Structures are given as C-alpha cells and as structure tokens.
C-alpha cells in the first residue's frame, strides 16, 4: 500500500485515525495501541503477507533479547555477549535476505564456480526495521530504555508512517509520546498540520519527482545498451536523477512525518535542505539525517574508540595528531562503505559509498591544510559559498550515477558521457505523457521541457524553504531547524510566507493537494522502497 495511492489516502488512513481516536476517547489507551499495531501489520502485509511471519518473529525475538538485557529475564550470558548475539542475529537476517545472492554471484565470478542463486525475495523495509531494532538493543544495554512493554515495542517497530522507509526512529523518541494522555484525544491542529505536510510530500512525489523521472530513465536506459551519450545527455540524466531522488525521498519523508502528526506524534526530521549545502560534509549532515545519525552514534563513534584503543595497545604509546587523523579517516571510509552497501545489494552501491567516503576524507584533509596555513575557516564570502555549492553539487551528481545505475557497465557508460562524451546537443527526451506536456506539447519544444524541469526543481530545492521551515510555527518534526536570520531579500520574502491556519493558506493548500491527488493515477513506487 503506497502513500501515494487512493486506497491509503481515502480508506486506510481515515479508518485508522477514526479507530485510534475512537478507542482512545471512549475505550482505553491499550485498545487504541493494539488497534494501531494491527492496522500497521495490515499495512505491512498489503505488499506480501508471506513475510509478515518473519517480521513478527523478528519483533518477538528482539523484545525477548531486550528483556534479557534489561534483567527481566534470566539468561546465563553476560550482557555484552547477549548484545553481540542480538546484533549478530539481526545483521545475519539482513545479510541473508539482502546480500546472499550478491555473495554467490561474486564467488562464481571470482573463482569460476557455478553455485545456484538462492533467489530469496527481499522483505519490505528490512533495512530500516533492522537498524531500529539494533538501536533498541544498544539503548537497553546502555540503560537509555527502561520501560519494557511488548505492546509498546510492537508499536515502536511497526508504526506504519515510519515502517517502510523511515525516518529511523529511536524507542526513546517515539513511545514516550504515546504515553501522554492527550495523544489519544483528537486535536484539530495536529490533523491540519499533518494533512498539510502529507499533501506537500504528495505534491513533491507525484508532481515533481515523477515528472522528472522519465528524463533520468531515458538517459540511463540508453547507457544500458551501450549507446554513446553526449556530454550534455549524461549530465542532464545525472542532474535529473539527483533531483528525482531528493523530491521522491524527501516527499516520502514529509508524508511519513505528516501521517504521524495526524496521530499527534512527531517524528525526527530527515532532510534539512541538503542541496543548499556549500560543502560535502554539510550535504551529508542534512541528507537522510536519521540514517547518518544512526551510523554516527552506533558505528562511527564505537569504531573510532576501538581503533584508538588498538593503536594505543600497539607500539604507539600515545595518540598523536597523525594517528588521530588516521583513525578518523579509516572510520569515515568504513562507515561510508557500510552506508553504500546498506542502500543496495550491488557493487555499484559499494563504489558509491567509497566515492563519498573519499569526498569526506578529502574535505577533512583540505580543512586541515587550510588550518595549517593559518586560514580563518569561519570566514565566508558570497563567491566562496557559490563556488562551494557548485563543487559540492557537481561531486554529488558524479557519485550518484553509481546509485542509479543497475550495473557497473551502465555507470561507466554514463561517466564516459559526462567526462568524455562529445557535443552538447540534447536529444528528444519525450517519454510518456507528463504534466509539462500541457505547456510544451510539440516535439520541437521537448528540449525546453527538459530544461524547464531541471531549472524549476533545482530552484525549488536551492532557493525555497523546506517543508519544516514552511510549517515551523507548528513544529511539525521533533527537531527544529528554523529559517536562518534573513540576509537578503528573498530570505526575507520567504520568512513572511510561512504556512498558517488561515483561509488564504487553506485555499493554496487545497489547490496543491488537488493537483497532487489528480496526479496519483500514474503512481510510481518510491525509490527507497527497494532498500
């Protein structure tokens, strides 16, 4: 059941809301929670009920392990070994379903064997709920989670707004909100803010992302068949995919946060205008923020401490600046490799992670060099920001080719066009009927359509506030990233246009929602559903 489907918008979400608030108001909190868990399990099983059993078993197993870590169940194992067992089991399931066939293919290629593929079907959302359950076990071990209710745990893992593709939520963020009595009473403001945010995300997905998707698809499909790409073709395809990915995933996240807000629940922000970034580290801080938060807290810091202790126990008696820099560099590269392979079972994703790891390491070394030369790293000018943005977006698009391509050959073909392709003539990118065909109906104007979409979406991503900033008066997400202090005319303009519960904004919201809903008929799956 897709967020951008009529069955979700007009049936599932309203019925689930009515049941939750009805039971919460006239029944009991426990019944309302059970209703929400049952609805979430139904939502999960809509795609393929065969993996509902695996999902439920995973929840039961991790709750059992969490109870043992909390000391509520006696097990003859030290807690640290119990935690390691839990992490190993969770990662083992993820590796089996996601990477077993990739491993077999790689072995067959490397040592010339012919092992048959397992052809296991990837369970929906396994990458996301695996990370949430690992975070839960670690938090129980660290004493950050004390309350241990099976109903609460099931709700934490299965809560449908964040179940399929995040945001990755911690137990300590979500469940305390459900323990407040007011969460079970209908609040019109929560519903209005939630529906508005959901509609903004739906507009991003159905009108913006889905309309630029054919442009990227046409370029990469050409590369599949080893047809030569011009420089302009390849760059248009790369930029189109960068914009499609952003509006697709940030649109999904807006819908997830908006759907949760209709229940009075705030989820953590997942995007903070990453395409406004003027350095690659800033882009990664603001892109898929809950994933990078998880990797930083549960992988990068523990790994860095382990490598530091390893260095101290070796011949090096003390950690000097060079050793510390090596630890940071190594940890950064490993984390980015893990982020890459987490996104997909393919060598292209590993390469994508490695490229971004090299970017971050290079940026760290550049800052270190400037510091040694006595430069003021906090001094910024408009031209340095502009140059930084150009370099950052250029590097991002170059690396992202590997995340879009289905094979290494496809990626290298697109790269060949980007860096060695001849000419700057754009072909006819017409592929299917799109909303912009109303403005540019003739074949001669297809080129204008392509440039129109690229320019429009890039301007929206770079020059306008993000969804949380539009709605910042009502704090739609857990984290608050307000519009910066206005420095120029367009920032002052946007600051005055923030969404409010007024007739003026009601009309604008209704128009955008209507356009988005009318575009649902040609619904496409979200890109991150494959992860």
> What does the H/E/C string look like for 91-157?
HHHHHHHHHHHHHHHHHHHHHCCCCCCCCCCCCCCHHHHHHHHHHHHHHHHCCCCCCCCHHHHHHHH
On whether residue 295 sits in a domain, the answer given is yes
Q: Are 126 and 44 in contact (CB under 8 A)?
A: no
Q: Are 341 and 326 in contact (CB under 8 A)?
A: no
On whether residue 291 sits in a domain, the answer given is yes
3-state secondary structure of 526: coil
Q: What phi and psi values does residue 407 have, to the nearest 5 degrees?
A: -150, 165
On whether residue 347 sits in a domain, the answer given is yes
d(CA 435, CA 440): 9
Same domain, 353 and 423: no
d(CA 482, CA 360): 26
d(CA 530, CA 249): 12
Same domain, 175 and 204: no
Per-residue model confidence (pLDDT) at position 437: 47
Q: Are 248 and 201 in contact (CB under 8 A)?
A: no
Cα-based distances in Å from 124 to 164, 171, 363, 383: 7, 21, 36, 45
Same domain, 395 and 527: yes
Same domain, 56 and 204: no
On whether residue 446 sits in a domain, the answer given is yes
Cα-based distances in Å from 425 to 96, 97, 219, 269, 493: 46, 44, 13, 40, 37
3-state secondary structure of 159: coil
Q: Looking at 139, 163, 186, which one is the last position of a domain?
A: 186
Q: Which of 267, 260, 43, 36 is nearest to 164 (CA)?
A: 43
d(CA 107, CA 491): 55
Same domain, 102 and 251: no
On whether residue 77 sits in a domain, the answer given is yes
Q: Looking at 153, 186, 219, which one is the last position of a domain?
A: 186
Contacts 24+ apart (CB under 8 A), 521-524: 522/206, 522/210, 523/2, 523/4, 523/5, 523/206, 524/4, 524/210, 524/213
pLDDT digits (tens, 9 = 90+) for 194-248: 999 999 999 999 999 988 888 888 888 888 877 778 888 889 999 999 999 999 9
Q: Which domain holds residue 123?
A: 6-186
What DSSP letter does each residue of 339-396 carry, written as one string?
Answer: HHHHH-SSHHHHHHHHHHHHHHHHHHHHHHHHHHTT--TT---HHHHHHHHHHHHHHH
What does pTM read for this prediction? 0.90
3-state secondary structure of 260: helix
On whether residue 306 sits in a domain, the answer given is yes
Same domain, 274 and 285: no
Q: Which 8-state DSSP code applies to residue 500?
A: -
What are the respective helix, strand and coil percentages of the chain, to the nearest 5? Answer: 75, 0, 25
Same domain, 344 and 401: no
Q: Which of 99, 96, 93 is nearest to 341 (CA)?
A: 99
Per-residue model confidence (pLDDT) at position 174: 93
Note the helical H segments in 159-230.
160-163, 171-178, 188-203, 210-224
Question: In the structure encoding, which two tokens stand for residue 333, read together?
Answer: 């590269």
Per-residue model confidence (pLDDT) at position 398: 95
Please count the other Cβ atoms lying within 10 Å of the Cβ belonging to residue 157: 25
Q: pLDDT under 70 in the chain at which residues? A: 314-323, 421-446, 480-492, 494-495, 521-523, 529-531
Q: Are 217 and 234 in contact (CB under 8 A)?
A: no
Same domain, 403 and 428: yes
Q: Are 167 and 287 in contact (CB under 8 A)?
A: no
Q: Is 504 exposed, middle or buried (0-12, 13-18, 19+ CB in 10 A)?
A: exposed
Per-residue model confidence (pLDDT) at position 441: 44
Same domain, 227 and 289: no
Same domain, 171 and 203: no
Per-residue model confidence (pLDDT) at position 322: 58
pLDDT digits (tens, 9 = 90+) for 336-388: 999 999 988 788 999 999 999 999 999 999 988 888 888 888 888 888 889 99
On whether residue 384 sits in a domain, the answer given is no
Q: Are 233 and 128 in contact (CB under 8 A)?
A: no
Q: Are 390 and 280 in contact (CB under 8 A)?
A: no
Same domain, 171 and 192: no
Is the bond preceding residue 167 a cis peptide, omega within 30 degrees?
yes
Same domain, 296 and 359: yes
On whether residue 1 sits in a domain, the answer given is no
480 catalytic residue (yes or no): no
Q: Looking at 166, 186, 206, which one is the last position of a domain?
A: 186
Active-site residue among 343, 375, 379, 480? 343
Per-residue model confidence (pLDDT) at position 445: 45
Domain count, the chain: 3
């Amino acid at each position: 059941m897709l967020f951008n489907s009529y069955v979700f918008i007009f049936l599932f979400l309203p019925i689930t809301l009515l049941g939750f608030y009805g039971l919460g108001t006239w029944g009991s909190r426990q019944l309302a929670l059970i209703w929400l868990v049952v609805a979430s399990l139904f939502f999960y099983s809509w795609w393929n009920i065969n993996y509902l059993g695996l999902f439920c078993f995973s929840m039961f197993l991790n709750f059992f392990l969490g109870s043992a870590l909390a000391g509520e169940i006696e097990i003859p194992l030290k807690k640290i070994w119990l935690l390691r067992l839990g992490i190993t089991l969770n990662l083992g399931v993820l590796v089996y379903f996601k990477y077993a066939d990739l491993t077999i293919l790689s072995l067959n290629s490397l040592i010339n064997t012919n092992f048959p593929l397992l052809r296991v079907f990837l369970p929906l959302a396994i990458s996301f709920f695996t990370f949430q359950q690992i975070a839960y076990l670690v938090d129980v071990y660290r004493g950050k989670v004390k309350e241990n209710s099976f109903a609460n745990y099931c709700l934490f893992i299965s809560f449908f707004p964040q179940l399929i593709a995040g945001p990755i939520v911690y137990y300590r963020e979500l469940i305390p909100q459900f323990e407040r009595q007011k969460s079970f009473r209908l609040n019109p403001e929560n519903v209005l803010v939630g529906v508005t945010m959901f509609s903004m995300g739906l507009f991003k997905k159905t009108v913006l992302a889905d309309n630029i998707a054919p442009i990227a698809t046409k370029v990469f499909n050409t590369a599949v068949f080893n047809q030569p790409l011009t420089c302009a073709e390849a760059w248009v395809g790369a930029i189109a995919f960068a914009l499609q990915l952003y509006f697709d995933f940030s649109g999904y996240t807006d819908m997830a946060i908006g759907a949760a807000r209709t229940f009075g629940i705030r989820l953590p922000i997942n995007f903070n205008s990453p395409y406004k970034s003027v350095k690659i580290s800033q882009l990664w801080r603001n892109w898929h923020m809950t994933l990078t938060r998880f990797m930083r807290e549960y992988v990068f810091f523990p790994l860095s401490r382990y490598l530091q202790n390893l260095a101290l126990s070796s011949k090096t008696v003390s950690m000097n600046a060079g050793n510390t820099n090596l630890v940071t560099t190594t940890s950064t590269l490993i984390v980015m490799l893990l982020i890459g392979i987490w996104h997909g079972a393919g060598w292209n994703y590993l390469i994508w992670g490695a490229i971004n790891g090299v970017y971050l390491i290079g940026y760290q070394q550049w800052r270190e060099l400037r510091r040694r030369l006595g430069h003021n790293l906090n001094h910024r000018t408009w031209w340095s920001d502009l140059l930084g943005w150009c370099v950052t977006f250029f590097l991002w698009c170059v690396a992202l080719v590997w995340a879009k391509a289905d094979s290494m050959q496809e990626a290298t073909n697109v790269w060949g066009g980007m860096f060695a392709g001849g000419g700057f003539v754009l072909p006819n990118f017409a592929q299917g009927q799109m909303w912009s065909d109303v403005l540019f109906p003739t074949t001669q104007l297809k080129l204008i359509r392509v440039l129109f979409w690229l320019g429009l979406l890039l301007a929206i991503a770079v020059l306008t506030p993000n969804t949380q900033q539009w709605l910042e008066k009502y704090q739609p997400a857990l984290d608050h990233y307000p519009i910066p202090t206005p420095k120029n005319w367009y920032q002052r303009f946007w600051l005055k246009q923030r969404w409010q519960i007024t007739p003026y904004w009601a009309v604008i919201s209704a128009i955008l929602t209507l356009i988005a809903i009318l575009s649902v008929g040609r619904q496409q799956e979200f890109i991150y559903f494959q992860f």
